[in-house]
Amino acid sequence: MIKSFATKAHKLSTNLNLLRIIRLIWSATKLWTTISIIFIMVESALFFASLYLLKLLIDTLAKKEANLVQYEDRVINLIIFATLAAVLCAAAKAILGYITEKQSGKVAEYVDNKIHESAINLDLSFYESPEYFDILKRARDMGGDRPNLIVFTIVDITKNFINLIIIGSILVSIDWRLFPILTLFVLPTLWVRIIFADSQNVLRITQTALERKTNYLSTLLTSDVHAKEVRSFGLGEYLRKMYSEIRLLLLSGKLKLSKERTYRELVTSAIATLGFFSCIAYIAIGSVRGNTSVGDITLFLVAFPQSFNVIQTLSSGISTLYQNNIFVKSVFELFDLKSNLVQAQHPLPIPNDASIDLEIKDLNFIYPHAEKPTLTDINIKMPSGKIIAVVGMNGAGKSTLIKLLCRLYDPTSGTISLSGTDIRKYSIKEYQKQICAVFQDFGKYNVSAADNIRFGDIDGKRDRIEIIEAAKNSGADSFIDTFPARYDTIMGRIFEDGHEVSIGQWQKLAIARSFYSKSRFIILDEATSALDATAEKELFDSFRERIGTRSALIISHRQSAVKHADYIYFLSNGTISESGTHQELINLKGAYYNLFNKDLAQKQQ
């Protein structure tokens, strides 16, 4: 029994994590936290003063002298000062409410910014992990309300604790047994609430994956991304039913826990009420026997109900704080995650040479939690100013290769070097500025056409003419010029005044983004898959002129996209099986030749 209690007490102190949440609040709002503490002290002092003045007033009126006229001035002064203290106390309480609201708003903004900052700083491996998305969901579920509730609760607990000391000292002055008895009877309710806060947290963690699934199903039902297919295939009712079944399952678990907690709180609340009336009975009997003065009885009747309410409120506040702190633990869990990419302690400067090479040597890579390697013994060289192509079947490892070149992952073994230096010796951010990739699942940003392109060099202070030039090189200018606001037109129909664009037009914007960047290397991963044949031919026939002095890596299944490459690597099952120029690989009549069909050589002649 004692061991069980000690275990639960230790778990309580661990979960409460109060020091860390206080440090978080202090970091977010030092000034308003200080002002809040001052007003808590002022309100509590005024509350105590009003009670004490009331006691003096009652004691004065209860004097046994027949003529109280001589105390008239004292009575009037006590009434004035008690009234003034009560008015000031009410004013301090109102001001404290505003201060707390402002403080909580700043804390909510601080936490929201920290969540986004943490998410940005984590490497790509986290975004390919279900465990991370569970942590992220729990952190985001805390939302803006939880920090506010924590701030409000801490303020209320502090204020009620001070008030409890004041009222408790008054009760002790009447009879020292009253306060301990009352506290003892209220503790079971607090303990039950804390125990069930733990149970609720366990339930929340176990339900996170299902909650994420319902969010996904809701997105399928309500977003524009899947709207066409949901209606074309008649998936709406099926998905809605699946969503409802999971939601009902989640609700059932929550109601079961709530029912058990309600039953136990009924029992403990009855115990607390019994303690309350036991104390009243004790004082009443003492009064009948003449052991208690009229002033003490009056003060008891005023202070004791307040003390009961304060203890109950304090108990509720502590359990609420505990429960909310458990939720905040999910935020701290997110904050504590660290990127798997190791930043160089003393990063080398990126070479400023006009010609710069990128080379992969003996590279092997296994995804976290995977058993088999995705890439094995990869050796590829991208000389300055050259166009290199990587060709292969689906699942060969081409997209993984791009992630490694962009340093979204680090190799399991082997190296990627820039001008002969391992890229891990450079600053991650500075190295990534040297690479610009147009991914298969490129971003579609619902901002202006100009911003869609400017995102390629978001920190650069460059003229608008360079955005237009990048759009011309990608072919995006041909449709941007048809919009009423041209480059200021919002892309997509999510927001007001947005303009619908086709997938091919989105792809041209993505390519323009890469052309606008200041990178030394451009990577196109099936970046022309949505372009029509004419647009693709126009792009690649003059691709060398469009990219200037930069190197390029092209990944494509289309012969028209890779035939102009200076050198081609064929990737198969995670290894390079063939390499050479286009004509050399055709003459080899191996996997590359078979991919584009056996008649390709004859068509080229």
The CA distance from 522 to 545, in Å, is 13
Asked if 421 and 472 sit in the same domain, the reply is no
Percent of the chain with pLDDT over 70: 87
Percent of the chain with pLDDT over 90: 14
pLDDT band at 15 (very low <50, low <70, confident <90, very high): low
pLDDT band at 423 (very low <50, low <70, confident <90, very high): very high
Report residue 343 as tokens: 């930043």
Asked if 501 and 538 sit in the same domain, the reply is no
Q: Which is higher by pLDDT, 500 or 153? A: 500
Report residue 539 as tokens: 């792009």
Q: Comparing 188-192, 461-465, 597-601, which segment has the lowest mean pLDDT?
A: 597-601
Q: Comparing 85-89, 178-182, 388-392, which segment has the lowest mean pLDDT?
A: 178-182
Strands (E), 220-337: none
Please state the rounded mean pLDDT for residues 170-197: 73
Domain span at residue 424 reads: 356-434+519-605
CB 101 within 8 A of CB 86: no
| Domain harbouring 161, CATH code | 1.20.1560.10
Instruction: Kindly report, residue by residue over 308-344, the tens digit of the pLDDT.
Output: 777 777 777 777 777 776 667 778 888 888 888 888 8
Helices (H), 492-558: 503-516, 533-541, 543-547
Per-residue pLDDT, 147 = 66
Per-residue pLDDT, 280 = 74
Asked if 207 and 255 sit in the same domain, the reply is yes
Please state the rounded mean pLDDT for residues 393-419: 90
Question: Hunting for tokens 């403990």 — which residue is that?
Answer: 268
Q: pTM to 2 decimals? A: 0.73
Sheet of 521-525: strands edge to edge? 435-438, 521-525, 551-555, 387-392, 567-572, 575-580
Q: Which is higher by pLDDT, 166 or 110? A: 110
Asked if 242 and 388 sit in the same domain, the reply is no
Please state the rounded mean pLDDT for residues 132-151: 74
The CA distance from 283 to 277, in Å, is 10
Angle (deg, nearest 10), helices 503-516 and 464-474: 130
Q: Which is higher by pLDDT, 3 or 166? A: 166
Q: Does residue 340 lie within any of the structural domains?
A: no
Mark which of 516, 533, 552 sits at the end of a domain. 516
Contacts with 328 (C-beta within 8 Å, 6 or more apart), sequence order: 17, 21, 24, 142, 146, 147, 150
Q: How many domains does the chain have?
A: 3
CB 217 within 8 A of CB 211: no
pLDDT band at 63 (very low <50, low <70, confident <90, very high): low
Mark which of 484, 516, 548 sits at the end of a domain. 516
| Domain harbouring 395, CATH code | 3.40.50.300
Instruction: Kindly report, residue by residue over 459-499, the tens digit of the pLDDT.
Output: 888 888 999 999 998 888 988 989 888 989 988 887 888 88
Contacts with 443 (C-beta within 8 Å, 6 or more apart), sequence order: 455, 510
pLDDT at 1 over 50: no
Asked if 511 and 543 sit in the same domain, the reply is no
Report residue 599 as tokens: 């008649």
CB 358 within 8 A of CB 418: yes
Asked if 158 and 232 sit in the same domain, the reply is yes
Average pLDDT taken over every residue of the chain: 81
Question: Hunting for tokens 């209320």 — which residue is that?
Answer: 156
Contacts with 132 (C-beta within 8 Å, 6 or more apart), sequence order: 122, 126, 337
Instruction: Kindly report, residue by residue over 569-583, the tens digit of the pLDDT.
Output: 999 889 999 999 888
Asked if 509 and 556 sit in the same domain, the reply is no
pLDDT at 145 over 50: yes
Q: Comparing 317-331, 377-391, 512-526, 570-584, which segment has the lowest mean pLDDT?
A: 317-331
Asked if 469 and 593 sit in the same domain, the reply is no
Q: Which is higher by pLDDT, 273 or 307? A: 273
Q: Which is higher by pLDDT, 175 or 519? A: 519
pLDDT band at 5 (very low <50, low <70, confident <90, very high): very low
pLDDT at 377 over 90: yes
Asked if 392 and 319 sit in the same domain, the reply is no
Per-residue pLDDT, 148 = 63
Asked if 478 and 598 sit in the same domain, the reply is no
Asked if 304 and 414 sit in the same domain, the reply is no
Q: Does residue 162 lie within any of the structural domains?
A: yes
Cα 482 to the center of its chain, rounded Å: 39
Long-range contacts of 420-423 (CB under 8 A, 24+ apart): 420/357, 420/359, 421/348, 421/351
The CA distance from 537 to 598, in Å, is 22
Mark which of 335, 367, 393 sits at the end of a domain. 335
Asked if 510 and 376 sit in the same domain, the reply is no
Q: Which is higher by pLDDT, 599 or 562? A: 562
pLDDT band at 401 (very low <50, low <70, confident <90, very high): very high
